């Protein structure tokens, strides 16, 4: 109830400004170690049935924060203290960039959605490395990397490689973002040839950087707008190259079924939230069926509560992420989701989250 009041006030502000004000306040509140530990203990749902081991990494629960919320790794521990099983930073590019002109983030309240055309605004991989240097990162940390806008597509692999080299040592896992609709031409990297070349190069660098130490898994993030044939090609490349996982899905450029007024006037951008849920579930299910569960999936898109999370996991997701749902539901969302997952799992006869993954395909 309290968050509804706060949300009403925040929704009266321009969306990007509200985001930075809210995160500035949260970061200040959570800065003292003692406060973060106290609130973290209150918000964390500690139950063995929620624990998940994927890629050799131990996740305290399957609910994570998607990339785009903390682009520059400024608020990782504050966000982690809200009970997330993992936090994914970025998208980070080799070069710092301002992104697209503001306004570039819009609320579609009637649709419980957001429209954004941020354009990978971030401080750049050197600055993000400085932010993480010397910080004891508390949650499992994902690093989402993308292409700098000024870099030609033919030089994309080297651009991604630069960021990978700079941030490799901080990452528990790495996501290659080739699916944002807000960097011109980026989605063309999902084609078989460009994608294979990019992933082969990044896998080789990841292996080289991991000699004698840990090797963070390498994932690729895909678009919900891929047709089934194109999605199948991506999955084939992932398996052929030996990529460790798939994040499904990014935002959609589709405007079908939106009810919020003034969407056309808002201009271009990707839509996230409720409108993506159905297609995201289809993509998760198709990937799981095509790979027979061999490739772990992180499910993203329209997840607002425990039932949404369970549906994504039953479709085949080993982990789920929230972003838009977090904006609409507030900082207690993760606790509610994890408690709700336990109730739903018990009601449906699941012993733990591992039993949930892919259950829809086994029925």
Numbered residues of the known binding site for FMN: 67-71, 91, 144, 177, 221, 249, 273, 302
Length of the chain measured in residues? 363
Q: Determine contact, residues 98/157, Cβ cutoff 8 Å.
A: no
CA distances from 337 to 83, 239, 308 (A): 10, 32, 9
In 3D, which of 95, 69, 99, 64 has the Cα closest to residue 82? 64
In eight-state DSSP terms, residue 122 is B
CA distances from 48 to 23, 88, 296 (A): 30, 23, 20
Phi-psi region of 45 (alpha: psi -120 to 50; beta: other; left: phi over 0): beta
CA gap 70, 85 in Å, rounded: 15
Pairing of strands 319-322, 63-65: parallel
Phi-psi region of 148 (alpha: psi -120 to 50; beta: other; left: phi over 0): beta
Q: How far is CA 211 from the centre of its chain?
A: 27
| Start-to-end Cα distance in the chain | 38
| Residue positions forming the annotated binding site for substrate | 71, 116-120, 177, 182, 250-251
Pairing of strands 319-322, 297-300: parallel
Q: Determine contact, residues 199/238, Cβ cutoff 8 Å.
A: yes
In 3D, which of 358, 350, 363 has the Cα closest to residue 50? 350
| Residue positions forming the annotated binding site | 67-71, 91, 116-120, 144, 177, 182, 221, 249-251, 273, 302
In 3D, which of 95, 101, 73 has the Cα closest to residue 146? 95
Catalytic residue selected from 125, 148, 180, 280: 180
The question of whether 179 is a catalytic residue gets the answer: no
Q: Determine contact, residues 57/172, Cβ cutoff 8 Å.
A: yes
Q: Catalytic positions, please?
A: 180
């Amino acid at each position: 109830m309290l968050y509804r009041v706060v949300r009403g006030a925040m929704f009266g502000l321009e969306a990007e400004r509200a985001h930075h004000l809210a995160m500035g306040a949260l970061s200040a509140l959570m800065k003292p170690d003692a406060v973060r530990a106290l609130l973290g203990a209150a918000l964390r749902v500690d139950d063995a049935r929620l624990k998940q081991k994927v890629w050799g990494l131990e996740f305290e629960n399957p609910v994570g924060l998607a990339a785009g919320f903390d682009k520059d790794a400024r608020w990782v521990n504050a966000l982690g203290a809200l009970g997330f099983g993992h936090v994914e930073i970025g998208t980070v590019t080799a070069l710092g960039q301002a992104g697209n002109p503001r306004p570039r983030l819009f609320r579609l309240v009637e649709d419980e959605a957001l429209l954004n055309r941020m354009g990978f605004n971030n401080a750049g991989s050197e600055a993000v490395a400085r932010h993480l240097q010397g910080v004891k990162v508390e949650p499992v940390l994902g690093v989402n990397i993308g292409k700098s806008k000024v870099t030609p597509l033919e030089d994309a692999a080297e651009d991604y490689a630069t960021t990978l080299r700079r941030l490799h040592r901080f990452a528990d896992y790495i996501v290659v973002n080739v699916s944002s609709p807000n960097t011109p031409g980026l989605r063309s990297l999902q084609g078989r040839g460009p994608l294979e070349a990019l992933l082969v190069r990044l896998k080789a660098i990841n292996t080289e950087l991991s000699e004698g130490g840990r090797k963070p898994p390498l994932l690729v993030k895909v678009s919900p707008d891929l047709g089934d044939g194109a999605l199948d090609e991506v999955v084939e490349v992932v398996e052929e190259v030996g990529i460790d996982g798939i994040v499904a899905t990014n935002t959609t450029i589709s405007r079908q079924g939106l009810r919020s007024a003034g969407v056309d006037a808002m201009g271009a951008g990707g839509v996230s939230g409720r409108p993506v849920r159905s297609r995201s579930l289809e993509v998760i299910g198709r990937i799981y069926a095509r790979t027979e569960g061999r490739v772990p999936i992180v499910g993203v898109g329209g997840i607002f509560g425990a039932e949404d999370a369970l549906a994504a996991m039953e479709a085949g997701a080993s982990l789920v992420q929230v972003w838009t749902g977090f904006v609409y539901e507030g900082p207690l969302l993760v606790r509610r989701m994890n408690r709700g997952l336990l109730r739903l799992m018990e009601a449906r006869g699941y012993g733990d989250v591992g039993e949930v993954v892919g259950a829809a395909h086994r029925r």
